[in-house]
Structure 1
Amino acid sequence: MHAAAPLLPLVRLLQLASPALPVGAYTYSQGLEWAVESGAVAREADAAAWIGDLLACSLARFEAPLMAGQLAAWSRGEDAEVLRLNADFLASRETAELRAETVQMGWSLVKLLAELDAFAALPGWRARLQAIDTPCFPTAWSAAAAAWQVPAAQALAAYLWAWAENQVMAAVKAVPLGQSAGQRLLATLGERIPALVESALSLPEARWSNYTPGLAIASSRHETQYTRLFRS
């Protein structure tokens, strides 16, 4: 019993990173669908470049360090700092689709966590999370990771992995690619995650940046795309 106890945060982390988490992540492509429609992503190598660039230039340079800050703030009881970072993340969403995505997924995760005894039974955590107006997805996700005492490096690695997995699944459907191609993409992307996590944990806020104009253009063009499988 005692030997297995340290594994519980890992088990909770696997639950948070699972594609089965009912937050609707599978319905979003974050502009990838338009990139396929435009011809920018037409084969496996294109998908690897598109997803890999967003992982390194957007997720690892802004979303991941912001989440690291939220993890620390949640753990220290600094809810005002959590609110500040939540507002910063919402303000960083360049298009209506990207903002709607994080708001919808954040709302869904808050609702789920409020109903889960494994989270709601922890003293004070449900009230702290529900006190946030318009929680974005990283805010809700980091609250669960902090409440379940998941180490920051592991939490960020799992968050980046879950994002990459969702992007690869979108590429498999939209390009389309085979399942083996999807696994090759995940293997390649996964190799980059440890270094990206290490960088995100040490990146000062003054150097955070989500400057990815290609993503903003793809997302805005997707809003008026004629036929769509995904909501972003």
Structure 2
Amino acid sequence: MSIETGPVLLLQWLSPAYPVGAFAWSHGLEAAVARNEVADGAGLEAWLGDLLLFGSARADAILLAAAFHAANGAVLAEVDATARAFAPSRERLAETVEQGAAFCRATSGVWGGSLRGLTYPVAVGRAACMHGLPLALTLEMFTHALAANLIAAGQRLLPVGQIEGQRILKNLGPLVSDAAKNALTADLSGLSSACFAADIASMAHETQYARIFRS
């Protein structure tokens, strides 16, 4: 894979058009909005900033890097098992498992290979390694895509317009880069999350009566 084609490939994999179904999941945000824990653009930015600094967005970057560095199938399976165990709720587990399975199907169907049955960040990390993509760029673009997708979910739930959504994404840029850079030197022993409100929101969403997202 040349350095010129690498970014183009990542743009395709992490585009909203790539068939992983990311639009269907809110990562617990819908429940947080219903509970009035996130009520506007400022609240959305703070919520996502915490995920990047202390929560699942930071953890997913570490899992992606661990999958990229996995020396063999046994190590990769251990990373994937850790990703599944780290999911704090049934819906968050389904979110990473189903998006990962869809990513594996699409990527194997287009580029070939034996990518299958992995959680989402693990699947992206493994695919990036298989195709010779730079880890640093993969981490930054994956984390940016995660933030952008959750902003899009927030725009469906809150009075947040397109311009405000882009401002939020711009403001989160340094935290996206920080989470990506942290994952370059971290390993699974550094996996942690302190975003308990987000975890609880994802649990509450499982029994929420009216909802438009699957998590």
State if a TM-score over 0.5 links the two structures. Answer: yes
* Alignment-derived partner of residue 75 in structure 2: 81
Query: How many percent identity over aligned positions?
Result: 36
Rate the CA distance shift 1:46–1:193 in 2: closer, same or farther, 3 A.
same
* Contact 1:59 1:160 survives alignment (8 Å): no
Aligned runs of 1:175-186 on 2, under 5 Å? 175-186=158-169
Query: What is the Cα deviation at residue 226 of structure 1?
Result: 1.5
Secondary structure at 2:39's aligned position in 1? coil
Secondary structure at 2:4's aligned position in 1? helix
Matched, 1:147 2:130: yes
Query: Which runs of 5 or more residues in structure 2 are unaligned?
Result: none
Matched, 1:39 2:36: yes
Provide Cα deviations, 1:167-220, integer angstroms capped at 9, x if missing partner.
100111101311111001110111322222222211243222124221221011
* Contact 2:58 2:180 survives alignment (8 Å): no
Secondary structure at 2:145's aligned position in 1? helix
Matched, 1:156 2:153: no
- Output the CA distance in 2 between the equivalents of 1:6 and 1:204: 26
* Alignment-derived partner of residue 192 in structure 1: 175
Q: 1:205 aligns with which of 163, 188, 195?
A: 188
Query: Which runs of 5 or more residues in structure 1 are unaligned?
Result: 121-125
| TM-score where L is the length of structure 1 | 0.87
Secondary structure at 1:183's aligned position in 2? helix
* Contact 2:51 2:58 survives alignment (8 Å): no
| TM-score where L is the length of structure 2 | 0.94
Matched, 1:219 2:202: yes
Provide Cα deviations, 1:120-166, integer angstroms capped at 9, x if missing partner.
1xxxxx23x23xxx421112212221122111110000110010000
Q: How many residues align?
A: 215
Counterpart AA for 1:179: Q
- Output the CA distance in 2 between the equivalents of 1:147 and 1:203: 21
* Alignment-derived partner of residue 104 in structure 2: 110
- Output the CA distance in 2 between the equivalents of 1:200 and 1:142: 12
Query: What is the Cα deviation at residue 60 of structure 1?
Result: 5.1
- Output the CA distance in 2 between the equivalents of 1:8 and 1:195: 25
Counterpart AA for 2:27: Q
- Output the CA distance in 1 between the equivalents of 2:108 and 2:50: 35
* Alignment-derived partner of residue 123 in structure 1: none
* Alignment-derived partner of residue 52 in structure 1: 49
